[in-house]
Amino acid sequence: MVQDRRQAVTKPVPASRVVPKPVPQAQAQDPRQFQLGQIRRRFSPSEQVAQGYEGEATLLRFNLIPSDPDFPFEMTALNCQLFVPTGYPVSKPWLRVGNKDIPRGFALNVESGFDGLVKDKPEATLLELMKALDKNLEVFLSAPKAETVKLVPNKDTRHLSALPSRSVEPVAGPTRIEGKLAASEVEAQPRVEPAEVFTTEQKSQASQKREAETRQLEARMGRLPLFKKSGDGIAYTIPVEPRRRSELPVALQAVKSVQLFVPLLYPLQPCRIRLDAVDPAESKPVETGFEQRVAGQKDVTLMGHINYLAQNMHILAKTVLVSEQKPAPPSVQPAQAEVAPTNKGKEVDGQQDPERSHIQYITRPPEWTVDPDDVSDSDSDSDYSYDTESSEGGVEVEAEDQQPSQTPQNPERGTAISFPLIELYGIELLEVVTLNLSVKCERCKEVMEINGLKNGITKSESCRKCATALVATYRRELVHANAVRAGFLDLEGCVVVDMLPSTFIPTCSQCSTPFPLPGIVTIRGETTRNVCHTCHQKLTLTIPQIRFLHITSSRLPPSSGPRRKPEKLGITPGTELPRRGRCRHYSKSYRWFRFSCCQKVYACDKCHDEKEAHPNEWANRMICGWCSREGNYRPQDCGACHMLLVGKKGGGGFWEGGKGTRDRVRMSRKDKRKFRRPVGDKIKTV
């Protein structure tokens, strides 16, 4: 039978037979309440009825925690205020950001981004919109800061001259609104800056240069533990080690990393930095000085800017901040009018009452006169009143209730390793990858080797002579032309003697490319030559001298272990042990044993196993049953009194464990074997 390999279904399935995705009955009946229930179960928000753009709306307040583990901004949660109108889903929802530590310009980016998600996904539920917002939150916060306008109310005080001095109710008129609008226009006009326009060729060249410099930055810093890159490639977390950390302000001495923001149009738009977990007042000089350096040195690469920051952070911290003076709006002189006298006959022109010469009447200041409408307007505008400042990419979020740690990243303690006369040719940076050392035990002075030390990893060895624990931890520092210290050693139970052949990774000074793993191996007094695998420049490394400087004791010196309480065995040296040391298991053993597993004294191994839960180990010391003196283990007799510690079986020495005598001449006459005829011998007959 010939098989037909044609498909069973040759025609497409008609659209009438396609089953749509089932919709829950609750969503079909009331989609608004169904989707609100999803938000309630997911975020547990607080609810209230608010007045929206299209009538009443349900206001949901909750915190949206970013789900991205590599979220680059120091923000624990986004304070969301979600407005769901009564006519939803016909009327569209909108979002407001309530974080006080996020500038209004960046909050507007998030709100407009949510509006864009609502427009792009008209069929999405509220929960799906919040998931999309969480996914795109980093993109919204990394966008350039939106421009905002600060509205300042302008009170018309011309009518105050016609009021009594004690009056607090000014005459409201249309001039107040006109003055407010005029003031806002005067202040808003100087802040509008035309956007810089670049050609397509400039953008193409900038994109190529940005890609090359960011690739170099990632190749150089990518292996460091604190390095991190955001998903959009704009924000980088760069670990830094200031050259003169002790000269920095106290708030900056704990800086371990900085946030580097590289705009998409870099270098057409300058890069900038932000210090993490530092008071803005302390970090502002460094950030401003870095921006001035970038603006003045446009040909320097990103790696060059980072190196300059690490070498000169103590200088940038002294940058003088110049406060920008804002042009004051022209003041309008109110028209002078006659002041009506009060019912008591007192004038407000500063004249004194003849009957009360000691009382001076002064005119009520106009700013003390409060208009309820102005107060409400200013309060409502204060939430959205921020000065417009040109800022590119990223959001500056102030850390809440965070005090900078005073502990530096690599404290100067322990034993410092330095290469005083190191020679680097074609190498701009040198780092120790694997350190091998020879150390000396502090207790018995035995020299041993500790191999495979890496940055921040603790290794422990045991002395082969006295079994003391030897612990070593290496904390790495980078070596270059101006820094010859390779790091610190935290040692316990030993002191360093010399450095054995170790592994290094040099970085080419021409292309700033690190040497590939596993690196190069060198030792003191040896000149190692190699070439860069990228640009083929010659790399020469010579370490003629190694110096170990003991700064402080990183840990306590080795001790003999926890001090044991004296044992109360109830024995006196020179006297016999109870029952001469015998036990019910071995009646011919005249000694006690000190077992090495627990350092406790028992008569035999079976007595040990009855009292202890761990398996016994070989005893290396014993206590004589004749003189009660403790000493090293001896198989037959005591080293002090020389008494036999193993009794004879049967009272004789013939079959004493197979070691008795078989010589009938020396055999005792009482031994029946002395005169017994051997088996098989015949009786001699005459």
Is 531 found in the same domain as 582? no
Among 407, 532, 438, 545, CA closest to 486? 545
User: Over 70: is that where the pLDDT of 329 sits?
Assistant: no
Q: What is the mean pLDDT of residues 627-654?
A: 80
Is 116 found in the same domain as 230? no
The token pair at 581 is 């040391």
**Residue 389 within any structural domain of the chain:** no
User: Over 50: is that where the pLDDT of 458 sits?
Assistant: yes
User: Over 90: is that where the pLDDT of 122 sits?
Assistant: no
Residue 518: count other Cβ atoms within 10 Å of its Cβ: 10
Q: What is the CATH number of the domain that holds 62?
A: 3.10.110.10
pLDDT of residue 654: 47
Is 627 found in the same domain as 540? no
Question: How many structural domains is the chain composed of?
Answer: 4
Q: Which amino acid is at 150?
A: K
Residue 230 contacts residue 381 (beta carbons within 8 Å)? no
Is the dihedral angle over the CA atoms 52, 57, 61, 65 positive or is it negative? negative
- Its domain, for residue 419, covers 415-550
pLDDT of residue 393: 47
**Residue 680 within any structural domain of the chain:** no
Report pTM: 0.29
pLDDT of residue 62: 92
How many angstroms separate the CA atoms of 605 and 600, rounded?
11
The token pair at 543 is 């370490």
For residues 200 and 359, which has the higher predicted lDDT (pLDDT)? 200
Weakest-pLDDT range from 111-125, 291-305, 313-327, 441-455: 313-327
Is 583 found in the same domain as 546? no
Is 422 found in the same domain as 546? yes
pLDDT band at 296 (very low <50, low <70, confident <90, very high): confident
User: Over 80: is that where the pLDDT of 540 sits?
Assistant: yes
Express as a percent the part of the chain with pLDDT over 70: 72
pLDDT band at 181 (very low <50, low <70, confident <90, very high): very low
pLDDT of residue 592: 92
Weakest-pLDDT range from 203-212, 234-243, 375-384: 375-384
How many angstroms separate the CA atoms of 637 and 619, rounded?
16
Is 487 found in the same domain as 424? yes
Is 619 found in the same domain as 514? no
User: Over 90: is that where the pLDDT of 624 sits?
Assistant: yes
User: Over 90: is that where the pLDDT of 593 sits?
Assistant: yes
Is 284 found in the same domain as 216? yes
User: Which of 142, 158, 175 is the C-terminal boundary of a domain?
Assistant: 142
pLDDT of residue 244: 80
Tens of pLDDT, residue by residue over 552-591, are 764 545 445 455 566 777 888 889 999 989 999 988 899 9
User: Over 90: is that where the pLDDT of 243 sits?
Assistant: no
Is the dihedral angle over the CA atoms 201, 205, 210, 215 positive or is it negative? positive
Is 137 found in the same domain as 36? yes
Among 415, 435, 410, 419, CA closest to 480? 419
Tens of pLDDT, residue by residue over 369-418, are 555 554 444 444 444 444 444 444 444 544 444 444 444 567 788 889 99
Residue 163 contacts residue 171 (beta carbons within 8 Å)? yes
pLDDT of residue 376: 44
The token pair at 15 is 């659209």
Q: What is the mean pLDDT of residues 491-503?
A: 90
pLDDT band at 323 (very low <50, low <70, confident <90, very high): low
pLDDT of residue 668: 80
Is 530 found in the same domain as 591? no
Residue 621: count other Cβ atoms within 10 Å of its Cβ: 15
User: Which of 125, 142, 159 is the C-terminal boundary of a domain?
Assistant: 142
**Residue 235 within any structural domain of the chain:** yes
| DSSP symbols for 115-151 | HHHHHH-TT--HHHHHHHHHHHHHHHHHSPPPP----
Q: What is the mean pLDDT of residues 352-364?
A: 62
Q: Which residues contact 416 (CB under 8 A, 6 or more apart)?
A: 485, 487, 488, 489, 548, 549, 551
pLDDT of residue 184: 44
**Residue 230 within any structural domain of the chain:** yes
**Residue 44 within any structural domain of the chain:** yes
Q: Which residues contact 62 (CB under 8 A, 6 or more apart)?
A: 39, 43, 44, 45, 46, 80, 82
**Residue 167 within any structural domain of the chain:** no
User: Over 70: is that where the pLDDT of 129 sits?
Assistant: yes
What is the helix (H) or strand (E) element at residue 185, kind and residue range?
A: helix 174-191
Residue 589 contacts residue 645 (beta carbons within 8 Å)? yes
Is 532 found in the same domain as 461? yes
How many angstroms separate the CA atoms of 79 and 61, rounded?
7
**Residue 15 within any structural domain of the chain:** no
pLDDT of residue 338: 44
pLDDT of residue 80: 92
pLDDT of residue 622: 92
User: Over 60: is that where the pLDDT of 464 sits?
Assistant: yes
Average model confidence (pLDDT) for the chain?
77
- Residue 556 CA neighbour count, 13 Å, CB half: 4
pLDDT of residue 382: 42
pLDDT band at 649 (very low <50, low <70, confident <90, very high): low
Is 540 found in the same domain as 600? no
pLDDT of residue 371: 54
What is the phi/psi pair of residue 350, to 5°?
A: 90, 5
Q: What is the mean pLDDT of residues 256-285?
A: 85
Q: What is the mean pLDDT of residues 460-472?
A: 86
Angle between helices 372-382 and 174-191 (to 10 degrees): 30
pLDDT of residue 602: 92
Distances (CA, A) of 82 to 41, 48, 483: 15, 11, 55
Q: What is the mean pLDDT of residues 219-246?
A: 84
Q: Which residues contact 685 (CB under 8 A, 6 or more apart)?
A: none
For residues 13 and 669, which has the higher predicted lDDT (pLDDT)? 669
According to DSSP, the residues that pair with 78 across neighbouring strands are: 64
**Residue 628 within any structural domain of the chain:** yes
pLDDT of residue 565: 64
User: Over 80: is that where the pLDDT of 646 sits?
Assistant: yes
User: Over 70: is that where the pLDDT of 93 sits?
Assistant: yes
User: Which of 142, 176, 208 is the C-terminal boundary of a domain?
Assistant: 142
For residues 328 and 146, which has the higher predicted lDDT (pLDDT)? 146
Residue 367 contacts residue 153 (beta carbons within 8 Å)? no
Measure CA 55 to chain center.
47
